[in-house]
Protein backbone atom coordinates (compact mmCIF):
# COMPACT_ATOMS: atom_id res chain seq x y z
CA UNK A 1 0.00 0.00 0.00
CA UNK A 2 1.21 3.54 -0.82
CA UNK A 3 1.22 6.62 1.41
CA UNK A 4 -2.20 7.40 2.92
CA UNK A 5 -3.42 3.98 1.85
CA UNK A 6 -5.47 2.33 4.57
CA UNK A 7 -7.71 -0.65 5.07
CA UNK A 8 -11.06 -0.46 6.79
CA UNK A 9 -13.94 -2.79 7.57
CA UNK A 10 -17.35 -2.34 6.03
CA UNK A 11 -20.41 -4.40 6.91
CA UNK A 12 -23.50 -4.59 4.76
CA UNK A 13 -26.12 -5.02 7.49
CA UNK A 14 -29.09 -7.45 7.41
CA UNK A 15 -31.60 -4.87 6.13
CA UNK A 16 -29.49 -4.23 3.02
CA UNK A 17 -28.55 -7.88 2.37
CA UNK A 18 -32.24 -8.74 2.63
CA UNK A 19 -33.05 -6.17 -0.07
CA UNK A 20 -30.34 -7.60 -2.38
CA UNK A 21 -28.23 -4.44 -2.17
CA UNK A 22 -24.88 -6.24 -1.90
CA UNK A 23 -23.85 -5.60 -5.51
CA UNK A 24 -25.10 -1.98 -5.52
CA UNK A 25 -23.13 -1.20 -2.37
CA UNK A 26 -19.97 -2.97 -3.59
CA UNK A 27 -20.16 -1.09 -6.90
CA UNK A 28 -20.65 2.16 -5.00
CA UNK A 29 -17.35 1.56 -3.16
CA UNK A 30 -15.51 0.55 -6.33
CA UNK A 31 -16.85 3.59 -8.22
CA UNK A 32 -15.58 5.80 -5.38
CA UNK A 33 -11.99 4.51 -5.39
CA UNK A 34 -12.29 2.01 -2.53
CA UNK A 35 -11.04 -1.40 -3.61
CA UNK A 36 -12.55 -4.61 -2.25
CA UNK A 37 -9.68 -6.71 -0.92
CA UNK A 38 -11.83 -9.49 0.49
CA UNK A 39 -15.47 -10.09 1.34
CA UNK A 40 -17.73 -12.84 2.60
CA UNK A 41 -21.39 -13.34 3.44
CA UNK A 42 -21.84 -14.76 6.93
CA UNK A 43 -24.30 -14.85 9.81
CA UNK A 44 -22.98 -14.19 13.30
CA UNK A 45 -24.37 -15.20 16.69
CA UNK A 46 -25.71 -12.69 19.19
CA UNK A 47 -22.63 -13.37 21.35
CA UNK A 48 -20.34 -12.49 18.45
CA UNK A 49 -22.32 -9.31 17.81
CA UNK A 50 -21.96 -8.39 21.51
CA UNK A 51 -18.21 -8.85 21.24
CA UNK A 52 -18.00 -6.83 18.01
CA UNK A 53 -20.05 -3.91 19.41
CA UNK A 54 -18.71 -4.05 22.97
CA UNK A 55 -17.67 -0.36 22.85
CA UNK A 56 -21.41 0.33 22.92
CA UNK A 57 -22.24 -1.99 25.82
CA UNK A 58 -23.37 0.82 28.12
CA UNK A 59 -25.70 2.36 25.51
CA UNK A 60 -29.46 1.92 25.71
CA UNK A 61 -29.55 0.57 22.13
CA UNK A 62 -26.86 -2.11 22.71
CA UNK A 63 -29.13 -5.12 23.16
CA UNK A 64 -31.33 -4.33 20.15
CA UNK A 65 -28.25 -3.52 18.05
CA UNK A 66 -26.67 -6.91 18.80
CA UNK A 67 -29.93 -8.78 18.20
CA UNK A 68 -30.29 -6.95 14.92
CA UNK A 69 -26.76 -7.56 13.59
CA UNK A 70 -27.16 -11.27 14.29
CA UNK A 71 -30.70 -11.49 12.88
CA UNK A 72 -29.74 -12.41 9.31
CA UNK A 73 -26.89 -12.64 6.82
CA UNK A 74 -24.38 -9.80 6.61
CA UNK A 75 -21.55 -9.12 4.17
CA UNK A 76 -18.20 -8.21 5.73
CA UNK A 77 -15.79 -6.39 3.44
CA UNK A 78 -12.18 -5.24 3.66
CA UNK A 79 -11.89 -1.95 1.76
CA UNK A 80 -8.57 -0.43 0.74
CA UNK A 81 -7.67 2.96 -0.66
CA UNK A 82 -6.45 6.49 0.06
CA UNK A 83 -7.72 7.49 3.52
CA UNK A 84 -10.05 4.51 3.36
CA UNK A 85 -11.32 4.91 6.93
CA UNK A 86 -12.54 8.50 6.66
CA UNK A 87 -13.47 8.06 3.00
CA UNK A 88 -15.74 5.12 3.84
CA UNK A 89 -17.33 7.12 6.69
CA UNK A 90 -17.97 10.00 4.26
CA UNK A 91 -19.54 7.67 1.67
CA UNK A 92 -21.75 6.08 4.38
CA UNK A 93 -23.22 9.36 5.64
CA UNK A 94 -24.60 10.15 9.10
CA UNK A 95 -25.69 7.33 11.44
CA UNK A 96 -29.32 8.48 11.17
CA UNK A 97 -30.38 8.16 7.51
CA UNK A 98 -32.72 11.15 7.99
CA UNK A 99 -29.61 13.27 8.62
CA UNK A 100 -27.38 11.63 5.99
CA UNK A 101 -26.09 13.83 3.20
CA UNK A 102 -27.66 13.38 -0.22
CA UNK A 103 -25.97 10.67 -2.31
CA UNK A 104 -24.47 8.81 0.64
CA UNK A 105 -25.17 5.11 1.19
CA UNK A 106 -27.35 5.73 4.21
CA UNK A 107 -29.25 8.48 2.37
CA UNK A 108 -29.84 6.09 -0.54
CA UNK A 109 -30.57 2.89 1.35
CA UNK A 110 -30.96 3.45 5.12
CA UNK A 111 -34.40 2.77 6.58
CA UNK A 112 -33.95 4.07 10.14
CA UNK A 113 -31.20 4.77 12.70
CA UNK A 114 -31.03 1.09 13.60
CA UNK A 115 -31.55 -0.29 10.07
CA UNK A 116 -28.99 1.98 8.47
CA UNK A 117 -27.60 -0.52 5.95
CA UNK A 118 -23.85 -0.22 6.56
CA UNK A 119 -21.16 -0.22 9.24
CA UNK A 120 -17.72 1.35 8.87
CA UNK A 121 -14.70 1.41 11.19
CA UNK A 122 -14.15 4.79 12.84
CA UNK A 123 -10.36 4.83 13.45
CA UNK A 124 -7.13 3.15 12.34
CA UNK A 125 -6.99 1.16 15.56
CA UNK A 126 -10.60 -0.02 15.30
CA UNK A 127 -10.18 -0.81 11.59
CA UNK A 128 -7.32 -3.19 12.43
CA UNK A 129 -9.28 -4.80 15.27
CA UNK A 130 -12.46 -5.14 13.21
CA UNK A 131 -10.67 -6.62 10.17
CA UNK A 132 -8.99 -9.16 12.46
CA UNK A 133 -12.32 -9.93 14.11
CA UNK A 134 -13.76 -11.22 10.84
CA UNK A 135 -10.76 -12.22 8.74
CA UNK A 136 -8.08 -13.55 11.09
CA UNK A 137 -7.78 -17.31 10.61
O1 LIG B 1 -22.52 3.17 12.78
P2 LIG B 1 -21.99 4.49 13.29
O3 LIG B 1 -20.51 4.44 13.60
O4 LIG B 1 -22.38 5.62 12.40
O5 LIG B 1 -22.77 4.78 14.66
P6 LIG B 1 -22.44 4.37 16.18
O7 LIG B 1 -22.70 5.55 17.03
O8 LIG B 1 -21.10 3.72 16.27
O9 LIG B 1 -23.57 3.31 16.52
C10 LIG B 1 -23.47 1.97 16.08
C11 LIG B 1 -24.81 1.55 15.51
O12 LIG B 1 -25.76 1.55 16.58
C13 LIG B 1 -25.41 2.50 14.48
O14 LIG B 1 -24.93 2.27 13.16
C15 LIG B 1 -26.88 2.21 14.59
O16 LIG B 1 -27.24 1.09 13.81
C17 LIG B 1 -27.05 1.86 16.06
N18 LIG B 1 -27.64 2.97 16.82
C19 LIG B 1 -28.96 2.89 17.20
O20 LIG B 1 -29.64 1.89 16.92
N21 LIG B 1 -29.53 3.93 17.91
C22 LIG B 1 -28.81 5.02 18.22
N23 LIG B 1 -29.39 6.02 18.91
C24 LIG B 1 -27.47 5.13 17.83
C25 LIG B 1 -26.91 4.07 17.12
MG1 LIG C 1 -19.47 3.36 15.05
Q: 61 in ligand 1 pocket by Cβ < 6 Å?
A: yes
Instruction: List strands edge to edge, sheet with 35-42.
Output: 35-42, 74-82, 5-12, 118-120
Q: Calculate the average pLDDT of the chain.
A: 97
Burial class (CB in 10 A: 0-12, 13-18, 19+), 15: buried
* pLDDT higher than threshold 90 for residue 137: no
CATH of the domain at 13: 3.30.70.141
Q: 65 in ligand 1 pocket by Cβ < 6 Å?
A: yes
Answer yes or no: are the C-beta atoms of 30 and 39 closer than 8 Å. no
Whose C-alpha lies nearest to ligand 1, atom 18?
114
Best substitution site from 53, 63, 101, 116 to test ligand 1's pocket, by max atoms within 8 Å of Cβ?
Answer: 116
* pLDDT higher than threshold 80 for residue 108: yes
* pLDDT higher than threshold 80 for residue 2: no
Give the predicted TM-score (pTM) of the model: 0.97
Q: Which residue range(s) make up the domain with 74? A: 5-134
Find the angle CA(3)-CA(5)-CA(125) to the nearest 5 degrees: 115
Amino acid sequence: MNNNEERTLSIIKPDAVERNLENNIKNFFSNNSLRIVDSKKIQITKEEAEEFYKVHQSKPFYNDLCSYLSSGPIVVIILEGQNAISENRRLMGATDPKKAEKGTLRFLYGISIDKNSVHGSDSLDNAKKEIDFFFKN
